[in-house]
Structure 1
């Protein structure tokens, strides 16, 4: 899908607006900003902003490296996107990522920290699987969670802020293998955290229950 095709995409009571922000140095790459429009009024700031690389012949996949905000501000009013809207939004964004491609969402914010970033960082620090964190769920909704890599320590200055990077498998057999690996990671965590009363672990267990209820819809590959 071309990124322009997401213009006007319905996300609950909102519609997506996509703006290209200036040129890039590389062919096929775009600085994109995704706004949500409510009753004809766009959000004050992008809900998602980052660098998008169009799919190219293998071995170069398409990818999007971005920063996501939630809540969103409309004329100064803060609005938190609930899970159904998050699923709709990231399903749409996920259409840009081809098999073998990836989507990354930063949780290190350099002064723009929101709860979604702080909660993700704290959960990762405690050993909670990335898919059970707020930003990890967004990657799953986009179909880019097979696997999720935590860039907690960048390997060089080009990697930018710390982030979660989620991949879309190249084929069905790889998808099925990654799904089993994902659930084994979750089962191992549940065994390790059994009996803990930490609120972060309790929240993660609730996320497992939600994933189980949503999996027929989310896990279709």
Structure 2
């Protein structure tokens, strides 16, 4: 049993992870920053990048954020910003979204955060505006771009949209996806989310063409989630 703080254990496992992009291109994750947060016990600030099969590290991060080991009834959690592309020293610009690295990273985080924990992903920055627009159009959180990735990664509890900060350390707007603390809560939350998705796929599209296209993509995600998870609470 390791004596290292929980946040550091999570960070080190995250920083030693392996991701496989579409086309079977493999990447190693690497921590390029890990430091304690002043006046926040058990919190670590981190920055994560990737190295390709040749050992070449990207010069820009894949994710930056915070990890907390929890405490006083709060389970470990992670929050951050995921960048939809990284750049290498040779000027290659690699699309982490289209190649599936973004989804793989969220799936890895889902394997590290325990039941009762949560993941918060910022959606204000360039490259994440789709989730922001979807939430403004009243798309259910689980059907948004980031929400669907978190849901698939195991965060199937209730969602919280930090659209308006409540003071303190909240920072930019973000979507929080929770892991339910026990089996009964997990069943209730899953039922709530899937019922919301069922109602959403019957919604008429907005009149604006761009908004309608955005909602249609979200409805496609909702159908996929319903197909995959509807049998889980029957």
Measured against the shorter chain, the TM-score band is: 0.7 to 0.9
**Structure 1 residues 147, 83: CA separation in 2 closer, same or farther (over 3 Å shift)?**
farther
Give matches, 1:11-50, under 5 Å: 11-12=19-20, 13-25=26-38, 26-39=40-53, 40-50=55-65
Q: Paired residues, what number?
A: 212
- Structure 1 residue 108 and structure 2 residue 119: aligned? no
Give matches, 1:5-154, under 5 Å: 5-12=13-20, 13-25=26-38, 26-39=40-53, 40-56=55-71, 58-75=72-89, 76-81=91-96, 82=98, 84-109=100-125, 113-114=126-127, 117-154=128-165
The corresponding residue for 1:168 is 179
- Structure 1 residue 158 and structure 2 residue 169: aligned? yes
Give per-residue Cα distances to partners, 1:113-150, cap 9 Å, x unaligned.
Answer: 12xx1111111111111111121123224322411111
- Tell me by how many angstroms 1:195 deviates: 9.0
- Tell me by how many angstroms 1:31 deviates: 0.6
Q: Quick check: which has more Rg, 1 or 2? A: 2
The corresponding residue for 1:199 is 213
Structure 2 CA distance for aligned equivalents of residues 184 and 85 of structure 1 = 29
Provide the alpha-carbon RMSD of the alignment: 2.4
Unmatched 5+ stretches in structure 1: none
Give per-residue Cα distances to partners, 1:10-50, cap 9 Å, x unaligned.
Answer: 21021211244333222321111121211212222221111
Contact 1:50 1:65 in 2 (8 A): yes
Using structure 2 for the length normalisation, give the TM-score: 0.80
